[in-house]
Amino acid sequence: MKCTKMLDLPLNTERLVLRELASDDVTEKYASWLNNPEINQYLESRFLEYQLGDIVGYIEKLDKDPSSLLFGIFIKENMDHIGNIKLNLGNLYHKRADIGIMIGDRDQWGNGYATEAITAVTQYGFEVLGLKKITAGCYESNIGSKNAFEKVGFQVEGFLRSQVETRNNREGVWKFGVLPNEI
């Protein structure tokens, strides 16, 4: 199975547009998300400080990687960039991928945008890319992400105890999976 970058895109939902993230989308606002301890607390990227050039380089690198699809999450009404969602197609022989998401705009937390974006990208993975399984993970204390994945139909497949270092302690990681007939 070969991935053709950004086939049938952008993805439109009721309230969102998900489109390929471009270097033009890199702003001070975007950089502030990655450098804000409240927003980045569940991201593996939280250990570094980011400048605009770092983020542009990351996006350009992913754009050349056929196994990674990085979508910007934009509110349809005003095209405000509120976060990103990535589909990592690292194991196409097994027709499996992994989703990671960040709603960076703190004012948009709790509005259901993560669930809406996860649903759209999951459907895209199954219906367009022909995937047979999509996986995800989140930190034990990231209840918002856990709830969003479960609302879409992802099932808990495991829990890795004391898996990651956080600001104050160690915590576990939830592992999820979903099959095409479960969303």
Cα–Cα distance measured from residue 96 to residue 84, given in angstroms and rounded to the nearest whole number: 20
Indicate the average pLDDT of the chain. Answer: 90
Express each pLDDT in 15-34 by its tens digit: 999 999 999 999 999 888 98
The single residue listed with the structure tokens 């980045």 is 40
The model's pTM is 0.91
Contact 18, 79 (CB under 8 A): no
Residue pair 73/100 in contact (Cβ under 8 Å)? The answer is no
Question: Considering the chain, what percentage of its residues have pLDDT values greater than 70?
Answer: 91
Kindly write down the DSSP assignment for every residue of the chain, as one continuous string: --PPTTTT-SEE-SSEEEEE--GGG--HHHHHHHH-HHHHTT-GGGGS---HHHHHHHHHHHHH-TTEEEEEEEETTTTEEEEEEEEEEEEGGGTEEEEEEEE--GGGTTSSHHHHHHHHHHHHHHHTS--SEEEEEEETT-HHHHHHHHHHT-EEEEEEEEEEE-SSSEEEEEEEEE-GGG-
* pLDDT of 93: 87
Q: Which residues contact 156 (CB under 8 A, 6 or more apart)?
A: 150, 174, 175, 176
Residues 43-101: tens digit of each pLDDT:
766 666 778 898 899 899 998 998 999 999 999 999 999 999 999 998 778 999 999 99
